[in-house]
Structure 1
């Protein structure tokens, strides 16, 4: 029985030493496994993180440029508000110029009509004959009046150009 007790004890001691050795091996190698996992994680995650950082810096630069553009536009709008009086003055001057141009055109058209009417009046004042008796002469007078009218309209058109 003592042999049996010794063999049981020996088996228990052997199992216990194996477990202690195994645990010591795990504890001793645990940091290297952790470092391996960390290295693996860094290797996989580092390139995308660097790419993202580059993208963020690029977007930041673009955003900064757009902010400067907006500040410039706001400044331009503020200066337009300061120019309101000058623009109103320009608008009033343009209205006056358009009105004066319309008046000149009206006067020019009125003169053309009065010149045309006065030619007819002058021509009819000189012809006081009763032309019904002289049918041949009335055709000549009518043709002459048409020619004079045509010449007057040409002269008026060439002077207005």
Structure 2
């Protein structure tokens, strides 16, 4: 019987040894698992934090730009409303412009009636009937104008 008990003891010893190894391994895993979890968390935070901060800075910047544009829109709306209120002023300005144009035309008409063209000038009467299609020569036209002025002054001095 001793032999059987020795075999059972070896068998039992192997089973106990395997069990204790598994328990030890499980204890090692359980003991190290929280630190592994914290390591994974730290790794995730380290990788995700910088992009998340950058995104937050971008969102804050966009928020400020959006607020600025909202203020611009509010200002534009108030300006448009004030233009609606200025309609009477614009109508008054338009009426004053019409009156000013009419008065200017009247003044021009009165001045044209007061100024009578010098019909005594032979050159002017002659030039009114002569039409030539000459090319534009600036030097020639200056000379012609100067000559015409001289002829007129001679004619006036001879009548005097």
- TM-score, normalized by the shorter chain, greater than 0.5: yes
Aligned residues: 125
Out of 94, 97, 101, the position equivalent to 2:97 is 94
Q: After TM superposition, where is structure 1 displaced by more than 6 Å over at least 4 residues in a row?
A: none
Query: How do 1:50-65 residues align onto structure 2 when only pairs under 5 Å count?
Result: 50-65=53-68
TM norm structure 1: 0.67
Match of 2:18 in 1: 15
Q: Which runs of 5+ in 2 are unaligned?
A: 122-151
How much has 1:146 moved relative to structure 2?
Answer: 4.4
Q: Which runs of 5+ in 1 are unaligned?
A: 121-142, 149-161
Does 1:69 find its partner at 2:78?
no
What is the CA deviation profile of residues 92-149 of structure 1, one whole-angstrom value per residue up to 9, with x for unaligned ones?
A: 1101111221222123223324x545x68xxxxxxxxxxxxxxxxxxxxxx799428x
Task: Please identify which structure carries the higher helix content.
Answer: 1
Query: How do 1:26-45 residues align onto structure 2 when only pairs under 5 Å count?
Result: 26-45=29-48
TM norm structure 2: 0.68
Cα RMSD between the aligned structures?
2.4
Query: How do 1:90-129 residues align onto structure 2 when only pairs under 5 Å count?
Result: 90-113=93-116, 116=118
How much has 1:22 moved relative to structure 2?
Answer: 0.7
